[in-house]
Structure formats: C-alpha cells, structure tokens
Amino acid sequence: MISNEKVLIPHNDTYHLSVDVTDKISPKHLNSFIKTSLETANQQIEQNSKIFISYIDNANIYEIYHIKTTSQNIYLIYQIFDYNYINNYTNSIDLYITKEYFIVYKDSKFYFAKKNNNYQTTDIIRYINFHYKLDIDNTTILDNTQLLSLKEQFINSNIPPYNYINFSSNNEFKYYIYYIVSILFISFSLYIYNTNHYHNSNKIDIQNKLTTIKNRYKYLKNYQIKKQYKVKELIKFLNYLKIYHIYTTNIKYVDKLYTTIVANQKQQLYDFLSIYDKNIKIKSLKTLDGNKGFSMDIEIEL
C-alpha cells in the first residue's frame, strides 16, 4: 500500500457520541468539552486518537466521532458520499440509508451519521425530524453493490480528508493522601451560593471566607511548597469570581477543583475560563429557567 492511498475507516471501528448542549461551545473551550465528553463515556483518548465533530445547530447537539489508528490519509467511511457533490452543490438536506448506518448531508456537506438497527425508512425520517429538527428533502437507499461502486469512485477521486482533532495523552498528577485531606478541610470554608436564590441578599460574605482560607493557609505554611501553592490558587479562584461577578452554587476540592459557576451573561463565564486556559474542562453549559442566566459545571487543574 502506498503512503498516499486512502484508508477508509469502517462504521464499526468508529465510536460515535451525541452530546446535547443548550448553546454552541466557544471555540477556545471546544477541545476541553470534547475531551471531557469522551472521558465521561469511558472513551480513553490516546496518542493515535483522531476525532471529528459536527455541530447540529437546529437541535444544539454535538456529534463526536472517535477513531484510533496509526494509518495516514484516513477517511471516515461516511465521506464517500462527498463524491455525490463534486461540482454539484445543493442547499438541500439529503438522507442516505445503508444496511449499517444512515447519514445526513446538509448543503452538500456531511452533517451526521447514525447506526441503522434495521429501521424502516419512515421511522428514520421521523426520528431525524423529531430529534434533529430537520426536514429531509431527498432520500436514497443504497444496497451493497451501489455502496461498493460509490467507494471505488471516491477512492479514485481527489477529495481531501476531513480535519481531525488530535489529542496528546497526558498523565494526571496524583497528590498525597494527606494533602487531599488538608484541601478537603479548606473546601468546607469556601463560600456556597444558594442554588435557588443566587440573586437574593442572603449570599455568604465572600470576604469572611477569604479570611478563613488565608488563616488556614498560614497554618499550612510549614508544609511542602506545592501544597501551599494550591491553597494560594484557591484564594485566587475566589477573587476571580468576585472580579467577574460570578457566583458558585456548589464547590469541592479533591485532587482538582469541581464547581458550578453562574452568571447573568454567558460571555462572563467564557471570560472567566480564559484565565485557566488549558487547565479547565467544561462538563456542561445550561440556560437557567426563565432565561435568567447561565450555569456551567467545570473542573479545574489548579
């Protein structure tokens, strides 16, 4: 096999995950969101992992496709349908059904693919309409002979592969048990903002809590420098919340900081996240009832 030959990744070798969100994730934090979503689904990201995503704006769904391969010049099997749109742009929503999977193209571009469990064509169309808020314009059912012909035409074409996201594996730093216990004590001193009344006047006085943590920090000053550094970072975290006018509804610290942050504007949350850059993972982003603000579950490596 020559190095530039197309390598088609079969449907059964592609892990697929759908993730519902309330809004599109900021590009700066998208990788963190994808990584967290896959790890939550027990999908380990390795050096040979390649990931392709598609955002379904009609339904606020991220479709994530994860493959592991050391091969070069790889293509998801779904991309063979790109051949139908060479010099033939359409603004329609097209459905292709095979025995293994069904696939949707929107405006001549791949949109998403799902496993076909012997579904009837009408059931697939209803599912897409209900779940993805899409109206199918054209439907094509392919048998194995037609699929093989399309594969051959695609392989002989000059269609480039999709852009994949590559993640480098990293080892999580493990802290000593004593340090974990010490930080757990500190976490009890962090202020908690009432979930159902985060706008009322009964919120905990953050300055008092900062004083408590600073006192605890002095108590720990004779321990290792690394431990002291983490405590100092916790204090910084609370100060940053205050600066960006952000509240927390729950918070805990084990080996990382786990918290839910709340703000009136979504941009406030993204501006706050920019402080921690690559050391943060977004677990979820939600709109509060009545569109009264936004909440985000995050995990921070301090």
Task: For residue range 158-203, list pLDDT tens digits in order.
Answer: 999 988 887 654 433 333 334 444 444 445 444 444 444 444 444 4
Determine phi and psi for 298, rounding to 5 degrees: -135, 160
The residue with tokens 């000593």 is 176
In a shared domain, residues 81 and 160 = yes
- Using CA atoms, how far apart are residues 144 and 179, in angstroms rounded to an integer? 60
Q: What is the pLDDT of residue 25?
A: 87
In a shared domain, residues 270 and 146 = no
In a shared domain, residues 45 and 145 = yes
Q: Look up the CATH number of the domain holding residue 217.
A: 3.30.70
Tell me, yes or no, whether 94 lies in a domain.
yes
Mean pLDDT confidence for 195-217: 53
In a shared domain, residues 216 and 130 = no
Tell me, yes or no, whether 284 lies in a domain.
yes
Mean pLDDT confidence for 42-46: 86
In a shared domain, residues 212 and 277 = yes
What percent of the chain lies above the pLDDT cut of 90? 35
Tell me, yes or no, whether 129 lies in a domain.
yes
Tell me, yes or no, whether 2 lies in a domain.
no
Q: What is the mean pLDDT of the chain?
A: 80
Of 139, 166, 193, which residue sits at a domain end? 166
Determine phi and psi for 103, rounding to 5 degrees: -140, 145
- Which segment of 145-149, 250-254, 268-272 scores lowest on mean pLDDT? 250-254
Tell me, yes or no, whether 172 lies in a domain.
no
Convert the chain into a string of H (helix), E (strand) and C (coil).
Answer: CCCCCCEEECHHHCEEEEEECCCCCCHHHHHHHHHHHHHHCCCCCCCCEEEEEEEECCCCEEEEEEEECCCCCEEEHHHHHHHHHCCCCCCCEEEEECCCEEEEEECCEEEEEEECCCCCHHHHHHHHHHHHCCCCCEEEECCHHHHHHHHHHHHCCCCCCCCCEECCCCCCCCCCHHHHHHHHHHHCCCCCCCCCCCCCCCCCCHHHHHHHHHHHHHHCCCCCHHHHHHHHHHHHHHHHHHHCCCEEEEEEECCCEEEEEEECCHHHHHHHHCCCHHHEEEEEEEECHHHCCEEEEEEECC
- Using CA atoms, how far apart are residues 88 and 195, in angstroms rounded to an integer? 53
In a shared domain, residues 29 and 154 = yes
Number of domains in the chain: 2
Tell me, yes or no, whether 1 lies in a domain.
no
In a shared domain, residues 35 and 160 = yes
Q: What is the pLDDT of residue 2?
A: 43
- Using CA atoms, how far apart are residues 138 and 122, in angstroms rounded to an integer? 13
Tell me, yes or no, whether 186 lies in a domain.
yes
In a shared domain, residues 235 and 139 = no
Of 166, 191, 208, which residue sits at a domain end? 166
Structure tokens at 184: 């757990």
In a shared domain, residues 211 and 192 = yes
Record the pTM.
0.59
In a shared domain, residues 160 and 13 = yes
Of 132, 166, 200, which residue sits at a domain end? 166
In a shared domain, residues 137 and 224 = no
Q: Structural domain of residue 188, as residue ranges?
A: 177-300
In a shared domain, residues 149 and 63 = yes
Determine phi and psi for 21, rounding to 5 degrees: -135, 170
Tell me, yes or no, whether 77 lies in a domain.
yes
